[in-house]
Every structure is written in structure tokens, then in C-alpha cells.
Amino acid sequence: MSECLFCKIVERKVPATVVYEDDHTLAFDDIHPQAPVHALVIPKKHVAAVRDCGEEEQALLGKLLLTCAKVAQLKGIADSGYRIVTNTGKDGGQTVFHLHFHVTGGRHMRWPPG
Ligand code: AMP
Ligand code: ZN
């Protein structure tokens, strides 16, 4: 069995509030939301981070961004606007090493993020 937390969510061995799913991507609510809407969009296949992606992940990366946009639609924040973030590695603030895009919105997002 995979030791990766997000692989376990894909396998439904760890519960999550799933927002959207298709053949290659899964979206679920973040367990510690940083905004009124905070979802995570992940590939079903295990990839650790953007830095680990190669040419073979090109289509998957595009698909993940399209899923982010779908999630924003489903959550009702497409018109008001939202932020898509992916943290990569220690200094990037990554804590779960299965590629994920944060989709946050429902309030004005500040910049710089810190
Ligand atoms: P990052 O720090 O960019 O790696 O983001 C990891 C995110 O995963 C954080 O926002 C956590 O709140 C979130 N998270 C951790 N465990 C879970 C879980 N079991 N279900 C949903 N989100 C989680
Ligand atoms: Zn994984």
C-alpha cells in the first residue's frame, strides 16, 4: 500500500470531501482551509512535485489546470476570481509530496503571499 497521503485519498483509504473527479485528476477540500474556498487538485498518478515532471507529464499538467478552473466554477468563485498555487520543495512550502494545486478564493487574496 502506498505511504503517500494523497495516493491514499485517491484510493479512498483516507476520507476527503471530493469536489470533482475525472480519469486523471481529483479535487477535494483542503482540511485546513486558508480561504472560504480552498480545494486541492491532484493527479491520480503519483508525481511528487512540478520539479519532478517531465515531457510525459505535459498533458497531465494542462489537465490539472483545467480541473482547477472546473473546481472554481463548481465552487462559485469563477467570476469573483481565485488563486491557483503549487508549492514545490521545502523552501516553496511544500508539506505533502504528491503534486497538488491549491485553488483558493471567496475573499480578496493578498499579494505578496509571504
Ligand atoms: P502544501 O503545504 O502545499 O504541501 O499543501 C498541503 C496541503 O494539504 C495543506 O494545505 C494541508 O492543509 C492539506 N492537507 C493535509 N492533509 C490533508 C487531508 N487529509 N485532507 C485534505 N487536505 C489535507
Ligand atoms: Zn502520492
Residue 11 CA: which ligand is closest? 2
How confident is the model over 86-95, as a mean pLDDT? 97
Q: Which residues pair with 28 in a beta bridge?
A: 18, 40
**What does pTM read for this prediction?**
0.98
The residues spanned by each domain of the chain are 5-105
Separation in Å, CA 69 to CA 15, 40, 61: 23, 12, 13
CATH value of 5-105 in 2.60.40.10, 3.20.20.220, 2.40.170.20, 3.30.428.10? 3.30.428.10
- Indicate the pairing of strand 18-21 with strand 101-105: unpaired
Q: Which residues pair with 26 in a beta bridge?
A: 21, 42
pLDDT on residue 2: 80
Q: Read off the C-alpha cell for 66.
A: 483545467
CA of 92, closest atom in ligand 1: 3
How confident is the model over 4-12, as a mean pLDDT? 98
What does the DSSP 8-state code read for residue 113? -
Give the integer Cα–Cα distance in Å for 81 and 75: 11
pLDDT by residue (tens digit) across 49-74?
A: 999 999 999 999 999 999 999 999 99
The CA 15 to ligand 1 mean position distance, Å, reads 13
